[in-house]
Structure 1
Amino acid sequence: MINIVLFGPPGSGKGTQAENLIKKFNLKQISTGDLFRYNMKQETPLGILAKSFIEKGELVPDQVTTDMLVEELKKPSDCNGYIFDGYPRTSFQTECLDEIVKNELHSEISICLSLVVEDKILVERLINRGKTSGRKDDSEEAIIKNRIVEYYKKTAEVAELYKQQGKYVEVNGVGEIAEISEKLFAEVEKLN
């Protein structure tokens, strides 16, 4: 079983590369954003709870996010593993994910792949994306730069934990999409 934590700041191409990894290795992506949207739309007990925090402008507690993740992993799947996107974001969540993968999948996190792109390029990519997507958070340089800074602040401790476990690998996220995919594939293939 291959279990990947995928890191990358906004604009790093993480979504595109996740799709390519999924196709290549028959993985299932678990995105916390998707889990929130699904649970709130379905009005599950966890979705209702998450919505109560969001509506007050508060962060959803780690435990609620973790419980959603466990519920998702309990669903039957014929995949060869998972890509975790948006979780873990803290050292506490990293420890939780290790336990969840051990208990629910009888496996472990195989690797943390981190797409590395210079901030200047990230800003350019997001401004361009904002022109076509209409996303407000991709149209103002100051907001984009703040999102990038927040990303690095939040993920630094998680990256450090995976470095200590010898599971953290940085991959240059600049270049042709296919070339970047091949670099990621090569890192995953080293696991066997």
Structure 2
Amino acid sequence: MYIVMLGPPGAGKGTQAKRLAQELALVHVSTGDLFRENLKNETELGKLAQQYMDQGELVPDEVTIRMVEERLSRPDCEVGAVLDGFPRTDDQAEALDSLLEKFDGEVNLVPFIKVPDDVLVERLSGRWMSPSGRVYHEKFNPPTVKWIDDIDGSQLYQREDDKPGTVRHRIEVYNEQTAPLIAYYRDKDILVEIDGTKSIDDVFADIMKKIEAV
């Protein structure tokens, strides 16, 4: 079984993908992890990706697809995988379909975790960091004293990525980029919409119900 997880930044798709893979005894294939692994091990594909990144360019689809193909061809993926972070575009989705044909497989289900933009902004822009790397959240995990680290008393700061303006831009880019991808999977009748405003456990239960119905 092959499952593709979709959802905007802050929707919790990575958390759900890991949990699903564990529950279904599938492999969690995260493109973020794949890139880190290839860069760390200085593989041919890792070096290629590094060249583009060093020039401040996006890594081409071809490189990402080859990384995914290499990962899916390993023996542990024979039973299937939960894909997280790939595909991001309809072109990548078509490439994935061609790739899975080589393994006599296909995408069986695409859970799309939907969360309103304002909720995503609140989730992501509420994050604050301590200089030593501890993460707080204004609403979900606040420090005892506002803006002060609980452990060493240092001043908390907000990463550029977590500032509301940046967060809104990331969400806009995601919505624009993935609209055709959502349409692609909807046309194949394998897209299922999941309410991502519920608790982590409830979201997981909803996804499992959809999988059991396949």
**TM bracket, shorter-chain basis:** over 0.9
SS in 2 for 1:77: helix
Letter in 1 for 2:174: Y
Matched, 1:42 2:36: no
- RMSD across aligned C-alpha pairs, in angstroms? 1.6
SS in 2 for 1:10: coil
Matches within 5 A, 1:17-28: 17-28=16-27
**Equivalent position of 1:151 in the other structure:** 174
SS in 1 for 2:59: coil
Q: Percent identity?
A: 38
Which of 101, 114, 117 aligns to 2:115? It is: 117
Cα displacement string for residues 146-186 of structure 1 (whole angstroms, at most 9, x for unaligned residues): 01111111111111110110011110001221111100000
Unaligned runs of 5+ in 1: none
Q: 1:137: Cα distance to partner?
A: 4.6
Q: 1:78: Cα distance to partner?
A: 6.2
Q: 1:135: Cα distance to partner?
A: 6.8
Greater fraction helix: 1
State the distance in 1 between where 2:161 and 2:124 align: 5
Whether the 8 Å CA contact 2:17–2:83 is kept in 1: the answer is: no
**Equivalent position of 2:184 in the other structure:** 161
Query: Aligned pair in 2 of structure 1 residues 19, 79: CA closer, same or farther (>3 Å)?
Result: farther
State the distance in 2 between where 1:130 and 1:98 align: 40
Whether the 8 Å CA contact 1:137–1:144 is kept in 2: the answer is: no
Which of 118, 123, 126 aligns to 2:124? It is: 126
TM-score, structure 2 normalization: 0.83
SS in 2 for 1:126: helix
Query: Aligned pair in 2 of structure 1 residues 135, 61: CA closer, same or farther (>3 Å)?
Result: farther
**Equivalent position of 1:170 in the other structure:** 193
Whether the 8 Å CA contact 2:27–2:77 is kept in 1: the answer is: no
Q: Kindly indicate whether structure 1 or structure 2 has the higher relative contact order, using CA contacts under 8 Å at least 6 residues apart.
A: 1
More deviation in 76-85 or 147-156?
76-85
**Equivalent position of 1:182 in the other structure:** 205
SS in 2 for 1:110: strand
Cα displacement string for residues 77-133 of structure 1 (whole angstroms, at most 9, x for unaligned residues): 067421111111122111110011110x21100011100011111111112334526
User: How many aligned residue pairs are there?
Assistant: 189
Whether the 8 Å CA contact 1:54–1:60 is kept in 2: the answer is: yes
Letter in 2 for 1:127: S
Which of 164, 174, 190 aligns to 1:141? It is: 164
State the distance in 1 between where 2:92 and 2:158 align: 28
**Equivalent position of 2:3 in the other structure:** 4
State the distance in 2 between where 1:177 and 1:49 align: 37
Query: Aligned pair in 2 of structure 1 residues 135, 46: CA closer, same or farther (>3 Å)?
Result: farther
State the distance in 2 between where 1:32 and 1:130 align: 25
SS in 1 for 2:76: coil
Query: Aligned pair in 2 of structure 1 residues 182, 79: CA closer, same or farther (>3 Å)?
Result: farther
Letter in 2 for 1:66: I
